[in-house]
Chains A and B, each alone.
Chain A
Amino acid sequence: MLSKEYSDIKSAIKASPLEDGMTVSFHHHLRNGDYVLNMVMAAIADLGFKDLTVNASAFFACHKPLLDHISQGVVTGLECNYMDAGLGEEISRGLLKKPVIFRSHGGRPADLYRGAAHIDVAFIAASNADPAGNCNGWSGKSAFGSIGYAMADADMADYVIVISDQKSIYPLQQSSIDESLVDAVVFVDSIGDPEKIVSGTTRVTRDPIGLLMADLAVDAIAASGLLRDGFSFQTGAGGASLAVAQLLSDRMLAEGIQGSFASGGITGMLVDMLRAGLFRNLLDVQCFDRAAVESIAQDERHIEISASRYASPEAKSNVAQQLDVVILGATEIDLDFNVNVHTDSNGVIMGGSGGHSDTAAGSFMSMIIAPLYRARLPLIVDRVGCISTPGRDVDVLLTQYGLAVNPRRDDLRQPLQAAGLPVFEIAELKARAEAICGLPQPIKRKDRTVGIVRSRDGEILDRIYQLAD
């Protein structure tokens, strides 16, 4: 009888086709509590492999050991949809010889399915698995909820190794990834720190400016005419995004509106809205807090989706295209409404598209909510340091000083103005910020490319340049 189970990570790697120069992959559902990427890369380094590319859906601060592997030549390439500043700063200073490939959550599976990207060995952390590799992420002591970002890897990688810290008897009753895609299984003591995998709770902001903007955002959504039965919505997990969800919730309850779905990264706030009957379903590609993990495990209305179904432009249809409204952030936005979420105002890599460009492209109304300036740095610039989402997909900018609507969207501008909301030209808001902060001098960068931002369609959207000394 075939056994796929290996006693430790090293044995599984030795049995795999991994060779120097190949690409390995990871998902980021364990977020900043992940142990798996570091364990695997340590084993890979120990075994003497060199010149590997690591394609992770995202890198977090806990993945700092990668910097050593890069210095040692074990890793020479990185690909991701998001990179924490912990790694981003070193990359921005030119640590890697090859530029980092940045994709979006939808673009990553799209590139795999269209053959523009290739994974040799995929390492899939799961919180519950059986010895044949049937696995999921919503049960077990290290449960993290949806395992959506790993599904394309399981599908398309040449060799798939599942790593879990909970061994269930075959067959695991409900699996998100099944044995037909899995080559090997390893059981370890712990795949991650539950405290850091998901936050205990995510909280609505108390900042008066955040609340002011959330208020204005809900007024704008209502004025757009989109807030009616069948409403669909996505927002982030930050305090200000949650404030929007909270106020929307109050409004929908007051007006007896029943929405169709909320999607994205799911938080307890959205779970509450589901339970209150404000949405019929939650479409979940990632769980952000304990409440979301518990909900996906037991509520059949809370549905796990793959990154491909969520946002891939190669999919026959995706969830992002069904969205009425998405709330997004930005570090910078320019007069053409191009948005930067990859670098900060100093040009340092500290983020990435995630689902930003996907949902902006797919939704009917994309709304960027951001303060007009942060610690003296204006939000609106002549030209963004990096185009993460092209202006044609960005519909509304909302700051505490008012709104700006993309000239392409007169259909949104009219109702917002008619509702008496403070609508300005984006250039006026820029001038306002500069009057308050002063005119910023442009930052200098070197000619060398340290990051390439791939568009959802596989083109090069922009480049990120190395910081000047």
Chain B
Amino acid sequence: MRRSLLFLPGNQPSLLQNGAVLPADALIFDLEDAVAADEKDSARYLVASALRHLDFGRREKIVRINDDHTLREKDIRAVVRAGADTIMPPKIAGSALLQEIGALLDEIEQEAGIEAGRTKLMPLLETAAGIELAYESALASSRVVALALGGEDLAADLGCSRSREGKELLYSRQRLIIAARAAGIEAIDTPFTDAQDNTGLLEDALLAKSLGFSGKLAISPQHLKGIHQAFTPTGAEIAYALEVIKAMEAGLSSGLAAVSLRGKMIDKPVVEQAEKTLAIARASGLLAAAEEIADAE
């Protein structure tokens, strides 16, 4: 489940320690923008050590590596050996670099006795070229599990200014979603940057959900609540999903070719959406309660 993905600055021990308890679905240990140029080595050692020795639970541990080629390989070697689940290469455009990283991961996994293919990729698209070549990135490697949007740098590249409503990013967001879905992977939205504006965050997260994103990057722990609220199915949505599955199963056992629910055809996409909804509900701990209610009716 990747509703929320929280950035943790890689060179600050107290904030890395906090990561262990903050309720994000996934943690992104940042070696790139959150770390000063002369502290890249410090952050690399610190993040690797934290990954090895601290207990972050069963959540996905993502590391945003540096784009600089003199740092990239060292970053990847250090954190994969330390137990990172996913690498987030920034400023990705197209497939070449992702394939190169994929090959490096093959090598490291083999050397370190890690199950082949275990380490995933979540490229961060933050340039016009990145958006333009999004589909290529999504297909670059079987390790790519999601495309993530980096709105701040993207806006700069597009020559527009960021607004609270985010209209300037609308096309980029939709383009990324199309590319991700066409490739059968997830789409993750850009972080909301005002740490104090929880109302704005909720609106932004609801917009992201309505467009088709399945989760959102976060730069502040204060945003996690709002993100979860936006991306967690409501009671009504869960109840409907349960009905869909029930109707589907009833239809199958009666040998019906087509099933309808409340006058609407239940076809494959509807069933898949219902399954996704129930998966998130289960992971959020909401399924049991919803099932009880459904059974009672």
Contact = CB atoms under 8 A, between A and B. Distances in A.
Q: Do chains A and B touch in the complex (CB under 8 A)?
A: yes
Interface of A: 208-209, 211-212, 400-401, 420, 435-436
Contacts of B96: none
A436 B54 contact: yes
A212 B24 CA distance: 12
Contacts of A420: 285
A209 B222 contact: no
Interface residues on chain B, size class: 10 to 19
Given A435-B55, A436-B54, A212 B21 contact: yes
A208 B22 contact: yes
Contacts of B260: none
A401 B23 CA distance: 11
B219 to A, nearest CB: 12
A208 B54 contact: no
B221 A208 contact: yes
Interface in B13-68: 17-18, 20-23, 54-55
21 contacts: A208-B18, A208-B22, A208-B220, A208-B221, A208-B222, A209-B18, A209-B21, A211-B221, A211-B222, A212-B21, A212-B22, A212-B23, A212-B221, A400-B21, A401-B21, A420-B285, A435-B55, A436-B17, A436-B20, A436-B54, A436-B55
Interface in B215-248: 220-222
Contacts of B21: 209, 212, 400-401
A401 B20 CA distance: 9
Interface string B1-22: 0000000000000000110111
Interface in B127-145: none
Contacts of B55: 435-436
A420 B220 CA distance: 25
A435 B18 CA distance: 15
A423 to B, nearest CB: 15
A435 B55 CA distance: 9
B124 to A, nearest CB: 23
Nearest to B22: A208
A261 B18 CA distance: 35
Contacts of B222: 208, 211
A211 B18 CA distance: 12
B34 to A, nearest CB: 15
B198 to A, nearest CB: 11
Contacts of A211: 221-222
Contacts of B17: 436
B229 to A, nearest CB: 13
Given A208-B222, A420-B285, A435-B55, 16 more contacts: A208-B18, A208-B22, A208-B220, A208-B221, A209-B18, A209-B21, A211-B221, A212-B21, A212-B22, A212-B23, A212-B221, A400-B21, A401-B21, A436-B17, A436-B20, A436-B55
Nearest to B19: A208
Interface string B250-273: 000000000000000000000000
B112 to A, nearest CB: 25
B50 to A, nearest CB: 11
A44 B21 CA distance: 54
Contacts of B285: 420
A436 B222 CA distance: 25
A208 B16 CA distance: 12
